[in-house]
Copies of this chain bind each other. A is one copy, B any other.
Amino acid sequence: MALVNEHFLKLPGSYLFSDIAKKVNTFKVTHPKQDIIRLGIGDVTQPLAAACIEAMYKAVDEMTRKETFRGYGPDQGYDFLIEAIIKNDYALRGIQLNNAEVFISDGAKSDTGNIGDILRHDNSVGVTDPIYPVYIDSNVMCGRAGVLEDGQWSNVMYIPCTGENHFIPQIPDKRIDILYLCYPNNPTGTTLSKQELKKWVDYALENDTLILFDAAYEAYIQDPEIPHSIYEIKGAKKCAIEFRSFSKTAGFTGIRCGYTVVPKELTGATLTGERISLNQLWNRRQSTKFNGASYITQRAAEAIYSPEGKEQIKKTISYYMGNAKIMKEGLESTGLKVYGGENAPYLWVKTPKGISSWRFFEQMLYEARVVGTPGVGFGPSGEGYIRLTAFGEHSDCVEAMKRIKTWLA
């Protein structure tokens, strides 16, 4: 008989955002006349950059004639996009990559979820805590996370990031095989300086740890001292895979495009100690279980790197960061302690008087009609925090702050 993968059964039945949706729905049903402002889910709201739109029109038009029609593209993406990425996201920061080190995909969620395919099921895993749930859940699904004990997975090391340590994860005193880092961080909105990131690269090199570095929010960095790529740190090509996404950089949440960098010099080991190219394994994984991102999408992504595209996405990012500023100031004026929001589109708010995340979430929903995301949904160290996102409409952010001020006054 066909047996199921029982690791799936260890997962909690529902996803954080479904739980939130249910609670919001209950509120709406019981309060049909009250409007709510959603600052919970990290989805963008502003239109696509004109340069991307133009590129898509053109790409669609190419599909109307057999002379310019495009069928299957290269499995790992078109060179026009790969070259734009290498030039703008890396070479300009002094990082050299070759085309075969960049893999275009339908988004960073797929890639961070699927990367585990190329790694043994019994590697130990480390995460900063709180963290994007996909890192944990995808490891649970293949058995790598172990079993759930008191809210923590037995084969996962949780590295706490809280107000107490200023959200700077402490280097562990034992080794981990695979470590997830996400900077600028989702959900806390905090960043790592070059010096702090270097400590992790050094740790990884020393311990033969593979770093899975998620830089999906790098476009929101305002401070020139904060690294955008882990490869700005010497030696990182020997120990890190980097994930990037156009979702938040250019509003591509509905368009679906991202990419993953797997340097040629990066290796993992076999049980007998032979070194194996991870680039080669990821290439094989993607060639077999993926068939390339849409041509039209890839043309849109290329346009982000045109002079007009760059200007346009910068403007949209400024719009969101303007929201973040208003929210940070608004929340702080009520006496709340707020982290993030300066180099990231997320604000991480300490709940007052030690109230739990879910309790604060419900109070804010019922008393201020504002939806956030309970911090504990991102891991044990998220308890006592709530996440707000800056992706909303400007006027909604202003109004939400008014409501929260009135509520907490």
Residue ID in chain B nearest A179 by CB atoms: B2
Q: Could you say which residues of chain B place their CB within 8 Å of the CB of A8?
A: 118, 281, 284-285
Q: Could you say which residues of chain B place their CB within 8 Å of the CB of A29?
A: none
Is B291 touching A3 in the complex (CB atoms < 8 A)?
no
A interface residues, tally (CB under 8 Å): 83
Which one of B64, B106, B122, B142 lies within 8 Å of A3 (CB-CB)? B122
A114 to B110, CA, bound (A): 11
A2-B208, A47-B65, A177-B3 in contact; A254/B118 too (CB < 8 A)? no
A355 at interface, CB cutoff 8 A: no
Q: Could you say which residues of chain B place their CB within 8 Å of the CB of A15?
A: 287-288
A5 to B113, CA, bound (A): 15
A278 at interface, CB cutoff 8 A: yes
- Give the interface of A toward B (CB within 8 A): 1-6, 8-9, 11, 15, 41, 43-48, 50, 52-53, 56-57, 60-61, 63-66, 69-73, 106-107, 109-110, 113-114, 117-123, 134, 137-138, 141-142, 177-178, 207-210, 251, 253-256, 268-271, 276, 278, 281, 284-285, 287-297, 393
10 pairs from A and B in contact (CB 8 Å cutoff): A5-B119, A41-B72, A45-B66, A46-B69, A57-B60, A70-B254, A138-B289, A256-B292, A256-B293, A296-B296
Closest 3 CB pairs of A and B: A113-B289, A1-B208, A2-B210
